[in-house]
Chains A and B, each alone.
Chain A
């Protein structure tokens, strides 16, 4: 199977502080990778670096995505290339409605692929269809992006946006945090509907719970900016029972 993402010896810092200290990771099309690890291990930094957040400086290593140097691309170019970041804390944008936001995003993606913009009718149809994926009420479309949304609604909105953009590599940063069981099921089923042989997912989570719904092919444990363990999905159950300490001991 084709390699979609290749991370080699990735180091990244914020200011003087090094957070990622040599990450190696290969993701093939069709795979779901879970990244677990204690707080402060660098999970969110990894996702932000992959999406192009400029608060982090890559000091060493490389990231190749679909044969291209990912780190040379701007955040929007990464999006056009098919990268999607589901935010742990989705941002509120007062004054920009969900529908205008998505219209700008979808039509820009189309423009980059040499396609005509969607007509208003086509766009609304697409929007309705994808909102149904995450059982989102149509009243959300006129509201400001994430403004006044509950935690669960914000996460559903992330998955809805993912469904609209149909990325090839989706990175979901703690999409399960702050979700009740019903919302978790809805979010997970949205992800499962979008999964196919040509795309891949990186699911960052603290809890094994999400992985009951989104079954990973591989689980990585991140600790102090390095992957200290890579194993199959059964690892999540072991972590649930025993915590991270034994893995940390093993690695030290």
Chain B
């Protein structure tokens, strides 16, 4: 499928329509794993030098018409020197007990540039596991931001490989759990060749009995000299029973590299809280300000100002305990 000739939801139901679509985006609906109106899985292919003028927003929906258990895959192929911005949204349309296994293939050829924002906003009965298979050729750059806002079980497995010199990969993520939700990130980032750069920032806020697992491994193969690789994982526990597990790991087989990793699990800073309260900010609001501040580092990585602002609103609403609804589509978010 050619990118600028997308099937644009011809048989769209009223309820799927967006109220306030992003100005700078085309939309495409993926209903129970197939492109709405087309019936086939999504395979996007950008030709050499092709530039997507607008963001492509792919709204993935699980609805009662589909099976309870479903697996499907999508692929994104960026030809040499092509560029594009993709938003991948995952939603549930009914409160059924869904189990979804999704495979997302992202392949960047020489000097391709891609930005992805993954937004996961499903209900508490949904169990969604996604395998991201990512490869970057020489000089390619990928900037990917994950926002796991809501969902019973969300598991993201990311296998990213830097296969050509000068490739650069930035992965950022925010996960917010409450109730009995569980969110996992399992990341393997491999530097297979010299002179590549990677950066990872993953942050989570865990409330109630929410649980998060972060398991991140940076692997630098023997000849991948001059590698720069950084990884940070920070978790904020805002209830006494929330839990976070983190396992940052480095496996370095080259000797001339700059690598670092760091992980923390902490609570809201009581000094900040007291300071804000002495200025008259009520304790609940002060806690919210602190949490929003904690999320900023990730949300600010979204380069489109319009999308970033919407995500900021969504994150704040989520932290206020409202099930996130953005203005984009009439059901849930964007």
Give A residues with C-beta under 8 Å from B.
51-54, 74-76, 78-80, 83-85, 87, 90-96, 100-102, 104-105, 108-109, 112, 144, 161, 165
Residue-wise interface mask of B (280-294) relative to A, using a CB-CB cutoff of 8 A (1 in contact, 0 not): 111101000110111
Q: Which residues of B contact A85 (CB under 8 A)?
A: 278
Contact A91 B280 (CB under 8 A): no
Known contacts A75-B274, A93-B275; is-contact A105 B280 (Cβ 8 Å) = yes
Question: By the criterion CB–CB under 8 Å, are A95 and B275 in contact?
Answer: no
Q: How far is the CB of B235 from chain A (nearest CB, A)?
A: 16
Is B276 part of the contact surface with A, judged by Cβ < 8 Å? yes
Assess the B276–A93 pair: CB atoms within 8 A. Answer: yes
User: Residue B13 at the A interface, CB < 8 A?
Assistant: no
Q: Give Cα A95–Cα B272 distance, bound, in whole angstroms.
A: 12
When the two chains form the complex, which single residue of A54, A104, A109, A161 contacts B289, counting CB atoms closer than 8 Å? A104
Which of A85, A92, A93 is most buried by chain B, counting CB atoms within 10 A of its CB?
A93
B278 → chain A closest CB, angstroms: 5
Contact A87/B277 with A95-B297, A96-B290, A104-B285 known, Cβ cut-off 8 Å: no
Tally of chain B residues near chain A (CB < 8 A): 20
Q: Once the chains bind, are A161 and B280 in contact (CB under 8 Å)?
A: no
A108 engages B274 (CB within 8 Å) = no
List B residues 248-281 near A (Cβ within 8 Å): 271-272, 274-281
Residues facing A in B141-188 (CB within 8 A) are: none
Q: Which residues of B contact A165 (CB under 8 A)?
A: 279-280
User: Given A91-B271, A91-B272, A108-B285, A75 and B293 touching (CB < 8 A)?
Assistant: no
Chain A residues closer than 8 Å to B294, beta-carbon distance = 95
Main secondary structure of the interface of B (DSSP, over half): helix
Identify the B interface with A (CB < 8 A). 271-272, 274-283, 285, 289-290, 292-294, 296-297
- Contact across chains for B290 and A93 when beta carbons are under 8 A apart: yes
In this complex, what residue of B is CB-closest to A109?
B280
Question: Contact between A101 and B279 (Cβ–Cβ < 8 Å)?
Answer: yes
With A91-B275, A93-B272 known to touch, is A105 a contact of B281 (CB < 8 Å)?
yes
Residue of B271, B277, B296, B297 touching A75 (CB-CB under 8 A): B277
Q: Which of B277, B290, B296 contacts A76 (CB 8 A)?
A: B277
Partner of B277, one of A79, A93, A94, A101: A79
28 A-B pairs, CB-CB below 8 angstroms?
A51-B274, A52-B278, A74-B283, A75-B274, A75-B277, A76-B280, A76-B282, A79-B279, A83-B278, A85-B278, A91-B274, A92-B272, A93-B272, A93-B275, A93-B290, A95-B292, A95-B294, A96-B292, A101-B276, A102-B279, A104-B285, A105-B279, A105-B280, A108-B282, A108-B285, A109-B280, A161-B279, A165-B279
